[in-house]
Structure 1
Amino acid sequence: MIWRLLGIRLALAALTLVGVAIVVFVLLRAVPGNPIAMMIAPGATEADILALEARYGFDKSLFQQFLIWGGDVLRGDFGTSISLRQDVVNLIAGRLPATLELAFLALLVAVVLGAGIAILSTRLRGRTSEGVIDSANGISLAIPEFIWALAFVFLLGVIWPVLPVSGRIDPVLDPGFATSFLLVESLVRFRFDVTANVLSHMAMPTFALALPLAAVIARVLKAALLEAMSQDYVLLARLKGYSDLATIWREALRNAVLPTLALTGVQFTFLLGGTVIVERIFAYPGLGNMAIDAVINRDLPLIQGLVLTFGLMFILINLSVDLLAAAINPRLRHG
């Protein structure tokens, strides 16, 4: 049953999250360097240093530090950022909406582009244009997100400056929204001026993230479609008089979706990881940009909170894909 599957997945997700917490906690403290040294003002005394170490728990053993931190995390307290002197939960909550909107918009663009390319290439199979499409798709697959980002900045921000190259919204535009989900809330409130402005800032980072994923989706979906097109039920559809495009859309596509869905879920987690560099290139105020600053400043509480947040997002994405696959495929749902 699907509820049994959900219970098993939730238990495994909890164990995975605990493992991630242990690994990141130990590794961060094994790296050479003292984060307290970055907080000490010139002329600080030994007593000042000891006071800071006691405040952040660095005067205790590694095991004691983990127990204290783990207990605080279970209560929803991720500590205070060393570099920003603010609550880690509030910092992450302020940046998370920007990253989620960017990631899911990129996923939407990737699915639409990838599915369109796969259907078109399958429709044109055996023709010269199929080879052209597959070659272009292969090039897109070989180019990583940050190269696309740099290319877009050069082409659309420098050579032909039609799109903003940094930020999330124009500073002069103050929407006064209740949440940080600017794109979603602007649509709900019918503030299409804000929607257009936010989308203009998101356009380049969105396509930089979407193009490699779209290429993966197109390749896998096309292979699944070609396999489906050789099945008996497709031949029967053709005997009924369905056109080639109608056969692909009505018969082959729904049977080719499942393997593509599973791969898309896995690749979406890589897309989330790719937001770190892409956000930095476009000075986009999301979790990725904050993560780089946290690493540079050796801000252990903030790094730990960010890693757990990304880990939780990866787990939830994989869980959602598993449940969706089970809902689509009765054999998985009742197996």
Structure 2
Amino acid sequence: MAVTLFGVALVVFVLLRVAPGDPIAMMIGPGASPADIVALRAHYGLDGSLPMQFAVWLGAMLHGDFGTSISLRRDVVALIGERLPATLELAFCALGVALVLGIALAVIGTLGKRRAGEAVVDGATGLLLAIPDFVWALLLVLLFGVAVPLFPMSGRVDPSLGAQFHTPFYLLEALVTGQGAAVRDAAAHLVMPVLALALPLAAIIARVLKGALDEAMVQDYVLLARVKGFSELRIVTREALRNAIGPTLALTGVQFTFLLGGTVIVERIFSFPGLGNMAIEGVINRDLPLIQGIVLTFGFLFILTNLVVDLTVVGLNPKLRHG
């Protein structure tokens, strides 16, 4: 993990330095003197050589100091801490919806094997896969935000609601504290961005799980269950699904990292105040400390997710655990 994060830090540092544009020139007024420009460069650590800048930034980062945002004039760690919970809440809700929808499609397709049900599921998963998440976001805005305005198109909660939150996890806090109105409002704001992220992932889960179920349905224990007179629904959901779900969960964990990356554009479309939306703002303003901090945070989340997936696979597979 440490080596990978070092590689991420090095790559993002080099790419940002070779990209065109001067962040100091973008933030300073047209009447600034050369002395002012030199002072600002020194303040943000942009006056040394590239190796020296990288060494200084890496050393500060190891001590938890990601620097100060050039555009927002605030500590980068504090900014990430404010926005990251919103992105995590969005991502985990999308993951939950994708799992439920994907498993349901796989089970329906398996039960309707060689019948219309399988064809419908295959067609649905193909459609969901063919349309990327940001296009789903635009379609959902047109459908449920403009044509049939059922859900809010931006933000996390309605300011007029007057809800008081003590943590940045709005939906979770509202559920725990029993604020019914806040739960409904926060959930309504999540519906469209969650669906936009969940639909393509649900299609991947459905296809992989359906293939695993097809292999499980020809095993001896399934034949034994049929001899015992179990219904096909019980065989699929209680016998085959239990053995087929392991590899699917491992793939889902890997795909979750791509889902995190997808939040960047989706958050922008819905003006969702998460880390992805702030990343785009940082790129527009060429805010080097902010971009570096956000990319490293996403990199850490990707690596941590892969580690959790690997440990889960080992835990579910006794051969790997005792091999």
Using the size of structure 1 for normalisation, the TM-score is: 0.95
Paired letter, 2:145: G
Shift of 1:192: 1.6
1:309 to 297, 304, 317: 297
Q: Which residue of 1 aligns with 2:125?
A: 137
Q: Does 1:224 align with 2:207?
A: no
SS of residue paired to 1:172: helix
Structure 2 distance, partners of 1:246, 1:215, is: 23
103, 122, 131: which one aligns with 1:115: 103
Structure 1 residue 283, shift from structure 2 partner = 0.5
C-alpha deviation, 1:174, in angstroms: 3.0
Distance 1:82 1:206 in 2: 31
Q: Does 1:260 align with 2:248?
A: yes
Report the Cα distance in structure 2 between the residues aligned to 1:98 and 1:122, rounded to whole angstroms: 36
Aligned-partner Cα distance in 2 for 1:263–1:257: 10
Is 1:275 equivalent to 2:250 in the alignment?
A: no
Residues 37-60 of structure 1: per-residue CA shift (max 9 Å, x gap): 112112111111110111111111
Instruction: Tell me the distance in 1 between the aligned counterparts of 2:91 and 2:201.
Output: 11
Give the Cα separation in 2 of the matches to 1:184 and 1:106: 14
Comparing 245-254 with 303-312, which one deviates more in the overlay?
245-254
Secondary structure at 1:317's aligned position in 2?
helix
Task: Give the structure 2 partner of residue 89 of structure 1.
Answer: 77
- Structure 1: how far apart are the matches of 2:186 and 2:82? 16
Match of 2:273 among 279, 282, 285: 285
Paired AA for residue 203 in structure 1: V
Fraction of identical pairs, as percent: 65
Per-residue CA deviations over 1:124-155 (Å, capped at 9, x if unaligned) read: 10112221221122111111001111111001
**Residue 22 of structure 1 corresponds to which residue in structure 2?**
10
Q: Deviations over 1:194-220 (max 9, x none)?
A: 010000001000001000000000000
Where 1:227 maps in the other structure, the secondary structure is helix
User: 1:332 Cα deviation (Å)?
Assistant: 1.5
Q: What does residue range 1-16 of structure 1 map to in structure 2 within 5 Å?
A: 13-16=1-4
**C-alpha displacement at 1:227, in angstroms?**
0.5
Distance between the aligned counterparts of 1:285 and 1:260, measured in 2? 31
Aligned to 2:38: 50
Mapped pair 1:326 → 2:314: yes
Q: CA deviation at 1:286?
A: 0.4
Residue type at the aligned position of 1:14:
A
Gaps of 5+ in 1: 1-12
1:40 aligns with 2:25: no
2:21 alignment partner AA: G
Question: Does 2:285 match 1:297?
Answer: yes
Q: What is the CA RMSD across the aligned residues, in angstroms?
A: 0.9
The answer for the alignment partner of 2:156 in structure 1 is 168
The range that moved more, 245-254 or 203-212, is: 245-254
Structure 1 window deviating more from structure 2 (130-139 vs 104-113): it is: 130-139
Shift of 1:331: 1.1
1:45-103 CA-to-partner distances (Å, cap 9, x unmatched) read: 11111101111111111111111111111111100000010110111110111100000
| Structure 1 equivalent of residue 142 of structure 2 | 154
| Counterpart for residue 19 of structure 2 | 31
For residues 275 and 174 of structure 1, what CA distance do their matches in structure 2 show?
Answer: 27
Query: Quick one: distance in 2 between partners of 1:257 and 1:118?
Result: 11
Q: Distance in 1 between matches of 2:52 and 2:164?
A: 44
Question: By how many angstroms is 1:160 displaced?
Answer: 0.7
1:8 — aligned with what?
Answer: none
Shift in Å, 1:173:
2.2
The Cα of 1:235 is off from its aligned counterpart by: 1.0
Query: What is the distance in 1 between the residues matched to 2:189 and 2:159?
Result: 12
Distance 1:57 1:133 in 2: 55
Gaps of 5+ in 2: none
The TM-score with structure 2 as length reference comes to 0.98
Conserved? CA contact 2:108–2:117, under 8 Å: no
Secondary structure of 1:76 counterpart: coil
Deviates more, 1:243-252 or 1:210-219: 243-252
What's the CA shift for 1:291? Answer: 0.5
Deviations 1:284-325 (A, max 9, x none): 000111000100100000000000000011111111111111
SS of the residue corresponding to residue 292 of structure 2 reads helix
Q: Secondary structure at the match of 1:235?
A: helix
Aligned to 1:187: 175
Tell me the number of residue pairs that the alignment of Structure 1 and Structure 2 aligns: 323
Distance 1:160 1:231 in 2: 48
